[in-house]
Chain A
């Protein structure tokens, strides 16, 4: 079997596996549902996610350790992930093939030539890593809790820095000395003052190809495909701001019609990371000793645009092996030698651009945080899923992959637009108006699925405040507030206790207080009094208008009498004692009262699940709405004692 066929099988295998893992992320126990399928495996294999979480939190959470395997294999094999595993790469490769059909040989070679803009992805990578790096930097400089790991890391980073500096100094670059002194001085000042001017934020997920394709498939493609057949979800899934996600995905696909693997070549920060790692890879694509006729045939299908016919750009090579298959002279090979024509092994990066990207990344987060969305100016309408860490910690972990939104059984978790700031784009938040119910108070699926513990893994016991967690009480994701200007019994004299009925906690967090209100324009003159009914002078009532059981008739100063029903002119009452004679009803007038049960929230019981908001019959802006007050994830939002 040709190795090229094997590569195609591998791509198909991983693509189908990826789609399968997207489909089975459905809470349930049937074989095509969640079960033990490793639905995060692709995200975990992606070392860019592992690395950026390491930078932003100085930890590598659980399954992210898989990234080490990918990195290790890349050191040995090169960018195998791009050409053999990455589902987004495979999709683009197919698009590139479709776009290239019918093109002349020359045109094909032309569109696969290296382009200077291929450098951009390295700057993107550095920028994104820099935004995340403050976490590890601050951890390293925090010497108040010494540890072996910290010491080793400090010493090795210091040694590396010194090596680079001395090398530059030997070459006579004064600037290196100046920069070093400035950084060292800043380090000493930071250490002495214990100031923390830098803030980490994880933005890698915006452009990481795995997060991107997870997001695009689970939030856009799957709902599109599933809504007519209704296999994965009985009700069509709705995701606000999925439009932008879908359009971007479409854009990248269309671009790769014109330039094969457009995203991989110019944007992909993961590809850039692999490019840097593959510098020393043991096996690599290259030419054997002489024999090349410069026919450039190998470049007509070169996925990475790495110019295998000349000095191959190893960091751009995605190991598609097309060149191997195309070469009519048996010159191209995959071996442990360098290419006979020589190699350009590191990307052609401009030092000033590198510094700009990194400084820009470091500075961007403090600038974004100036609006205070992660501190004093927190947004009450940003309800995070249960298990979400405090906003600043949450933003150092969330990669916007959409897995929590996919797994949520009630479709209540949605990608954010700009509600939680520019930084929070596509992070999960809860919209109780949408979805099949509020947040189920006995479900912790989103916290279990989160690949980076931005939603820390909760047990059902912890969520519900049972067992070991009985003393801490249930987890609160917010608290409901009644909008008395919109609530039917509060504002419109209309009976309704839907929110109270649906409140799932015990005892209920919504309770009602009963009161009687006179119905507008309901004063009537009585003509005659019968045993259990009043006949009115005017027959202007709507039959059965007052027959709902909520209406009472007020006759003088008697206790209001329940109305059973009415005709045009007659009120039929539920009487225990005789009705007073007509001449004893002052002015012969009566009026009608309505019994209202007005809802109140008990802040000690409310967990913010939003079932009330979801069920509220005031359909537009709900009359009971959950706000992030009292959420458990930060003590600073506490509303009540206890």
Chain B
């Protein structure tokens, strides 16, 4: 090889012909177009073709009645923040892990929920949960069992209250929770609107007449009426038990009532409960002569009274004063008798 050619880049400074320059420019433009197309392409993306998205895990059953529960259109100033979600009994625990059992044991059918944002306060949002239960009693049961302290009763429906950042109500067989991200006035106003819209869209079938009407009013603790769907007072056969708290001075008691399928069953269950109490160390106490056929049990410094009257099973639970217990039981028994006679 000729040694004169060892110098590298003999031509580094050769003049670049116009054609070459134009070609370079053209190629660079093509690369630019490719880059831009790819950037444009990546915005077109549908993640649901790759993996199930949380929202489509549950699809509405074809033919099932569509609940309008998540319709926020009557309320102005709300924007949807998330797609509507729905859960059935099998998937409920995916949404409310830990509390699902409460709903399932009460007779749960379906939960629909959706988040909304306030148009004029985009940093505030609220979420509406509509639990559709088997019937009104189931809805009342889950409502009453999680009633918040410091609640303010609302006159939206028979059973409705407002806590610091939430509105909770029962309408027909729906239990509705509307939870706000804060407790500001703006949110509360929108929550109230949303609740009212729901109540209007879901008129109750008829006024429900049940055991709740039979609880004496005197000394009753406001909003203490509740319905326990199963395993009330730790006694497994006790299901569908309505109860209310009473307070006189510093003495307290709880009254309970439950309608059973037949008088015989009511009586049988009353006996079983008494046996259960005695099993756990209860001592039978003689009742006053004049009193109705109660069974009175003293247990752990408290008093329990159990009776059956027709199909109704009733009594007093954990009363710390025998007089109060007897008085309450008598009033309850009287109401129960009237109800039985009326039928």
Contacts and interface: CB of A to CB of B under 8 A. Distances in A.
**Is A in direct contact with B (CB under 8 Å) within the complex?**
yes
Interface string A225-242: 000000000000000000
Contacts, number: 91
Interface string B111-138: 0000000000000000000000000000
Interface of B, helix, strand, loop or mixed by DSSP: helix
A144 interface: no
Contacts of A445: 50-51
Nearest to B8: A105
Interface string A424-452: 00000000000000001011110010000
Contacts of B44: 36
A1 B16 contact: yes
A127 to B, nearest CB: 34
A106 B4 CA distance: 12
Interface string A311-329: 0000000000000011110
A105 B5 contact: yes
A231 B317 CA distance: 60
A35 interface: yes
B43 interface: yes
Nearest to B30: A10
B149 interface: no
B43 A9 contact: no
Contact of A442 (B1, B10, B52): B52
Interface in A486-511: 506
Interface residues of B, number: 34
- Of the candidates B25, B48, B51, B59, the one having the most CB atoms from chain A within 10 angstroms of its own CB is B51
Given A38-B38, A297-B5, A9 B31 contact: yes
A29 B11 CA distance: 49
B153 to A, nearest CB: 40
Contacts of B90: 506
A9 B28 contact: yes
A1 B5 contact: no
B50 A38 contact: no
A17 interface: yes
Contacts of B50: 27, 34, 443-445, 448
A611 to B, nearest CB: 15
B185 interface: no
A445 B50 CA distance: 5
B49 interface: yes
A6 B34 CA distance: 15
A192 interface: no
A326 B20 CA distance: 15
Given A35-B42, A448-B50, A297 B10 contact: yes
Interface in B18-41: 20-21, 23-25, 27-28, 31, 34-35, 38, 41
Interface string A1-22: 1110110011001000100000
Contacts of B47: 29
Given A29-B45, A328-B10, A448-B49, A3 B20 contact: yes
B97 to A, nearest CB: 14
Contacts of B321: none
Contact of B45 (A35, A109, A442): A35
A464 interface: yes
B94 to A, nearest CB: 10
A27 B52 CA distance: 12
A205 interface: no
Contacts of B25: 1
A35 B43 contact: yes
Given A3-B23, A29-B47, A459-B49, A105 B1 contact: yes
B2 interface: yes
B11 A36 contact: no
- Of the candidates A6, A31, A106, A297, the one having the most CB atoms from chain B within 10 angstroms of its own CB is A6
Contacts of B20: 2-3
A473 interface: no
Contacts of B5: 105, 295, 297
B52 A443 contact: yes
A328 B31 CA distance: 30
A5 B45 contact: no
Nearest to A443: B51
Given A1-B21, A295-B2, A36 B52 contact: no
B24 A2 contact: yes
B95 to A, nearest CB: 15
Contact of A106 (B1, B21, B35): B1
Contacts of B43: 35-36
A199 B216 CA distance: 88
Nearest to A446: B50
Contacts of A464: 52
Contacts of A440: 51
Nearest to A409: B51
B99 interface: no
B51 A6 contact: no
A445 B2 CA distance: 60
A529 interface: no
B209 interface: no
A36 B49 CA distance: 11
Contact of B41 (A5, A37, A105): A37
Contacts of A444: 49-51
A510 to B, nearest CB: 16
A2 B14 CA distance: 9
A172 to B, nearest CB: 45
Contact of A460 (B1, B31, B52): B52
A538 interface: no
Nearest to B56: A460
Contacts of B56: 460
18 contacts: A1-B16, A1-B28, A2-B16, A3-B20, A6-B23, A6-B24, A6-B27, A10-B31, A29-B45, A104-B6, A105-B5, A296-B1, A328-B11, A409-B51, A443-B50, A445-B50, A459-B49, A466-B59
Given A17-B38, A326-B11, 19 more contacts: A2-B16, A9-B28, A29-B47, A31-B42, A36-B41, A36-B42, A38-B38, A41-B38, A104-B6, A105-B6, A295-B5, A296-B1, A297-B5, A328-B11, A443-B52, A459-B49, A464-B52, A506-B90, A506-B91
Interface of B: 1-2, 5-6, 10-11, 16, 20-21, 23-25, 27-28, 31, 34-35, 38, 41-45, 47-52, 56-57, 59, 90-91
Interface of A: 1-3, 5-6, 9-10, 13, 17, 24, 27, 29, 31, 34-38, 41, 104-106, 109, 295-297, 325-328, 409, 440, 442-445, 448, 459-460, 464, 466-467, 506
The 8 closest A-B pairs by CB, nearest first: A442-B52, A6-B24, A36-B45, A443-B51, A35-B45, A1-B24, A36-B42, A36-B44
